[in-house]
Chain A
Amino acid sequence: MNWIWITLAGVLSGMAGAMGLGGGGVLLIYLTVFAGAEQLNAQGINLIFFVPIAILSMIIYAKNGQINWGAVIKTALFGLAGAFVGSFLAGFIGGELLSKLFACMLVVLGIYELFVPVKNENGK
């Protein structure tokens, strides 16, 4: 039975992840809320999981001409510096507090997504 849930969690996370809809959130929620994984371990699982999923998605998007390399590279370069700081801080803060931080981020982002109206596409 267990593998069904694991596969389902994988499929849902992969779908949401490929669409930039917060796939990491789906797997992390599964791991921490349902599978009882320790927060830092779950975060690591999620990060590793996302690499092949993102590579496959990028190949497909790039083939379809849906990638703006300039924007991606610029943002990612600064992101790398941030990733270093964030990963270091994670060890410093510890799993218990991080789990609460993650929970707060879920609620805040959820409320934001749910109630802030989407701007008209034509007006950008």
Chain B
Amino acid sequence: MTKEKGHKNLIMCVGGLAVGVVNGLLGAGGGMLAVPLLKKSGLTTKESHSNAVGVILPLSIFSAILYLSSGRVDIMDSVPYIPGGLIGALIGTKLLKKISANLLKKLFAAFMIWAGIRLLMK
């Protein structure tokens, strides 16, 4: 029992570190990594999705401050996207309870591959 708990703690430490590096480095993708990590630590799939948001929130605040202070971005650049984003968040939090995230995940995965290839060829 304690050995298993120690093992889970180690996964969370190393995994948490990796999530932070990716999120700061690429400005995205931390959540996608946090979901499988939280699953490994014993949460259900749906719990992992909702809790991943909680993991990424403080990381994004911290990284955003570092990006702002280095002059890579201005707060006003983000503002136009936020109203739509808040509406989307309201829909998303309701949707997560109802649907199987599986289909959405597959659709999004296909979209990611397509976008990745497009970006590579740019």
In Å, the complex CA distance between A50 and B25 comes to: 15
Question: Would you call A7 and B78 a contact (CB within 8 A)?
Answer: no
Q: Which residue of A lies closest to B11 (CB)?
A: A75
Q: Please judge, given known A-B contacts A15-B92, A41-B77, A78-B13, whether A113 and B106 are in contact too, CB under 8 Å.
A: yes
26 contacts between A and B (CB under 8 A): A6-B81, A8-B84, A11-B84, A13-B81, A14-B85, A14-B86, A17-B53, A19-B96, A20-B35, A27-B81, A41-B73, A43-B73, A44-B68, A47-B27, A48-B68, A49-B85, A67-B54, A79-B17, A82-B17, A83-B23, A90-B25, A98-B26, A103-B118, A107-B117, A110-B110, A110-B111
Least Cβ–Cβ distance between A38 and chain B, in angstroms: 9
Name which residue of chain A comes closest to B106, CB basis.
A114
Mask, A1-40, CB within 8 Å of B = 1, is: 0010011111111111111111111011100110000001
Q: How far is the CA of A48 from the CA of B60 in the complex (A)?
A: 7
* B residues contacting the other copy or chain, number (CB 8 A): 95
- Assuming the contacts A11-B84, A49-B81, A113-B109, asked whether A68 and B32 have C-beta atoms less than 8 A apart, the reply is no
Specify which of B21, B25, B54, B72 is in contact with A72 (CB 8 Å cutoff): B54
Chain A interface (Cβ within 8 Å of chain B)?
3, 6-25, 27-29, 32-33, 40-58, 60-61, 64, 66-69, 71-72, 74-91, 93, 98-107, 109-114, 118, 121, 124
For the complex of A and B, the 10 pairs showing the least CB-CB separation, nearest first, are: A82-B20, A10-B84, A14-B88, A43-B27, A86-B24, A44-B73, A24-B28, A106-B116, A18-B92, A78-B16
Q: Is the interface of B mostly helix, strand, loop or mixed?
A: helix
**A48/B109 in contact, CB under 8 A:** no
Pick the most buried of A68, A74, A79, A103: most chain B CB atoms within 10 A of its CB. Answer: A79
The minimal Cβ–Cβ distance linking B86 to chain A, given in whole angstroms, is 6
| Complex interface: chain B residues within 8 A of A16 (CB) | 88, 92, 104, 108
Known A-B contacts A11-B91, A42-B27, A66-B47; A76 and B58 likewise in contact (beta carbons under 8 Å): yes
**Are B64 and A104 closer than 8 Å at their CB atoms?**
no
| Measured CA separation A68–B54 after assembly (Å) | 9
Which B residues lie within 8 Å of A33 (CB)? 115, 118-119, 122
Instruction: Report the nearest B residue to A107, measured CB to CB.
Output: B116
Asked whether A57 and B17 contact (CB < 8 A) given A43-B72, A98-B25, the answer is: no
